[in-house]
Amino acid sequence: MIEKRFAIGLVVAGIFAVVSLPSWAENKEEEKVAVTQVPASVKSTIEQQAKGGTLREIDKRTADGKTVYAARITANGNDREIVIGEDGKLIYRGAVAKEDEDDDD
């Protein structure tokens, strides 16, 4: 009986998580910005991460009241994305998925 209740709880939690995702996406704002429009700490991190590469674009993203900057950099023929907090701290660095590259065209 306990296992059945646990399983039902997991299903309900999963449904809640899936239903909540679209509401998060609706609260997200995004705009393209120039490197001259970002805080100095963010610009410094972008410049450090882009050494030897080319900065393609910067998006200013706001979700749930928090602002981050996502920059796309091309180096050695590979695209990568970095996400930086307003304080200049690197939050994420990774390869850009192929479907993300197609969205730019």
Q: Output the DSSP codes for 5-19.
A: HHHHHHHHHHHHHHH
Q: Mean pLDDT for the chain?
A: 80
Give domain status of residue 34, yes or no. yes
E-strand ranges in 28-89 read: 28-33, 54-63, 66-75, 78-85
Number of domains into which the chain is organized:
1
Distances in Å between the Cα of 62 and the Cα atoms of 22, 28, 32, 57, 85 are 15, 6, 12, 16, 11
Predicted pLDDT of residue 21: 44
**Which residue in 67, 61, 59 sits closest to 85, CA to CA?**
67
**Which residue in 87, 105, 88 sits closest to 96, CA to CA?**
105
State the CATH number of the domain containing residue 78: 3.10.450.360
Predicted pLDDT of residue 61: 94
Predicted pLDDT of residue 23: 44
- Per residue in 5-49, pLDDT tens? 655 655 545 555 444 444 444 556 889 999 999 999 999 999 999
pLDDT at 90 over 60: yes
For 33, the token pair is 């910005």
Average pLDDT of the residues in 62-69: 90
For 32, the token pair is 């393209």
pLDDT at 73 over 90: yes
Can you give the pTM of this predicted structure? 0.66
Give domain status of residue 91, yes or no. yes
Give domain status of residue 1, yes or no. no
